[in-house]
Amino acid sequence: MQPNTLLDAILDEAGISHAGLAAHVNQAGRARGLALRYEHTAVARWLKGQRPRGQVPDLICEVLAARLHRPVTLDDIGLGVPGGPSSAHAGLLGGFVERATALWRSDEQQRPHVLDAPAVTGTPAVMPVWEWENPPEDVDVSRGGRQQVTAADIEVLRAARAHYEQMYRKAGGIATRTRVVGFLNAEAAPLLRGSYPDATGRQLHRATGALVAIAGICAYDSDAHGLAQRYFHQALRLAKASGDRGLGAYVIALLVNQSLFMREYRQAVAFAEAALRTAGRHITPALASDLYAMQAKAYAHLGDSGGALSRIRRAETAAERIRRGHEPAETGYVQPGLVNVQVAEALLSLGDLTGAREHAAAAVGTPAHDRGRVHRLAMLSTIELRRGNADQAVATAVQMAEQARGMESQRLRDRLRAVREHLVRCGSAGTAEAAELIDGALRVPL
């Protein structure tokens, strides 16, 4: 069940409260001979994704049409029946844009039914990837709107993506997400609704998709997994509209990473395969190395050592072909040492502590941005503890805690807590000092 952001947006436009809508629906129902007794709690359920029964969707349209002085359809309020005539445009780009921008607006306004929505699983999780892989393609993405979109507008979106990515790496997703979403609402939404020919439109959808992906990363880092997933799905649809298969594969890599976190290991393997298969020659060595490394982690968690080791070899081979300056901006996260830390995690799951330690040490010895360095130190500290090297584990944990101070990231907090628990269980000399430093880093308000 997905939050109904379209209904939320049109209620806001109409200036009607939840209780007010319920009262007006009851009144409209009485005119049709219906005895309805809806309250604001029912409207809250509709916003969470529950579909009203019987004639109620039509009554909602009637109430809002009278309020807004224009026709309102079931699709306008997010209640079109899949496959029905009233939802014929639902899969079209114009309808997608309205749903996407409604989500951005609800996120910026901190709507609980959006922020607290769980991630979907099963078919709803797989369908956006399937739709990206398969026809039909967008033949023409041009649009006629009020604002003429220029090359300068698109460059602003690209610069914003780079800016917010760097902010995320330094400050974490919690601090960055509100800024990204605010920018999407203020700058990207009017451009998507603007006027542009097909060629400009493809560049616009690509730049917006890359920016939406950053919003998804920040939501993921904030532990809002349902919201993150919806942003990733949006970014994938925008990538398809742009015609850039490489961008789509990058977005699927983000979905693979989330699948690993959610312990959907078979899904992680399948998604990575979809990206590698469909994007083909459009996948760069950096992205291929990351996809193979994440597959290795998934296979390791599934207990398939053969599958994990074969993907490790492929990841290492792809990493050797990376040429800096020949990669798109989005794959800049695949820095030297990233594959090492991914491989270390896979080998740790397989019980190969020696190999895991070798790769983790190589990762720590390679320069990385602030956030990546915290993860690398956390992995090395964990491996050292598993190997019985408590003193080295403590020293590494101290570096990790100092590096993490000031970052607002739920994922980093998870890593810090996990390392702290391992240190406390170890109980060797120096663990109290390391645990205190970690506690200090964890006291940053989120």
Determine the Cα–Cα distance for residues 11 and 46; give it in Å rounded to an integer: 12
Task: Examine residue 303 and state whether it is found in any structural domain, yes or no.
Answer: no
| 435 in the same domain as 379 | yes
* Single-letter residue type at 388: G
Residues 97 and 239 in one domain: yes
Token duo for residue 437: 């430093």
Q: Which domain holds residue 381?
A: 369-446
Digit-by-digit pLDDT tens for the chain (446 residues) are 788 988 998 898 888 999 999 999 999 999 888 899 999 999 999 999 899 988 898 899 989 988 888 888 888 888 886 544 433 333 488 889 988 999 999 999 998 889 899 999 999 999 999 999 999 999 999 999 889 999 999 999 999 999 999 999 998 999 999 999 999 999 999 999 999 999 999 999 999 999 999 999 999 999 999 999 999 999 999 999 999 999 999 999 999 999 999 999 999 999 999 999 999 999 999 999 999 999 999 999 999 999 999 999 999 999 999 998 899 999 999 999 999 999 999 999 999 999 999 999 999 999 888 889 999 999 999 999 899 888 888 889 888 888 888 888 888 888 888 888 888 877 666 677 777 778 877 775 44
Q: Are 36 and 54 in contact (CB under 8 A)?
A: no
Residue 285's closest CA among 334, 251, 337?
334
Beta bridge mates, 143: 196
**Domains contained in the chain, number:** 3
Closest CA to 11 of 71, 76, 58: 76
Distance CA 45, CA 52 (A): 9
Dist CA 300 CA 319 (whole Å): 20
Task: Name the domain boundary from 90, 105, 128.
Answer: 90
Q: Residue 205: is it exposed, middle or buried by C-beta count within 10 angstroms (0-12/13-18/19+)?
A: buried
User: Which residue type sits at 51?
Assistant: R
Q: What is the pLDDT of residue 444?
A: 56
Q: What are the φ and ψ backbone dihedral angles of 196, each rounded to 5 degrees?
A: -160, 145
Q: Which helix (H) or strand (E) holds 274?
A: helix 265-279
37 occurs within a structural domain: yes
332 within domain boundaries: no
Task: Report the candidate in 92, 105, 81, 26 with the shortest Cα–Cα distance to residue 59.
Answer: 26
Which of 35, 61, 90 lies at the terminal end of a domain, its last residue? 90
Per-residue model confidence (pLDDT) at position 415: 85
- The set of residues, in sequence order, having a beta carbon less than 8 Å from that of 175 and lying 6+ positions away, is 167, 408
Q: 74 and 160 share a domain?
A: no
Residue 359 forms part of a structural domain? no
Dist. CA 234–CA 209, nearest whole Å: 7
Shared domain for 83 and 194, answered yes or no, is no
Those residues with Cβ within 8 angstroms of residue 333's Cβ, 6 or more apart along the chain or in another chain: 165, 372
Q: Are 216 and 231 in contact (CB under 8 A)?
A: yes
Question: How far is residue 196's CA from residue 111's CA, in Å, rounded to a whole number?
Answer: 32
Query: Which position has the token pair 């990473």?
Result: 257
64 and 203 together in one domain: no
The whole-model pTM stands at: 0.85
Question: Torsions phi, psi of 186, nearest 5?
Answer: -80, -35
Burial class (CB within 10 angstroms; exposed 0-12, middle 13-18, buried 19+) of 159: exposed
Q: How many Cβ atoms are within 10 Å of 194's Cβ, its own excluded? A: 19
Which of 44, 74, 90 is the endpoint of a domain?
90
* 82 vs 74: CA distance, rounded Å: 11
97 and 207 share one domain: yes
Asked if 381 and 345 touch (Cβ cutoff 8 Å), the reply is no
Residue 42, in any domain of the structure: yes
* Contact between 362 and 340 (Cβ < 8 Å): yes
- 148 phi and psi, to 5 degrees? -80, 120
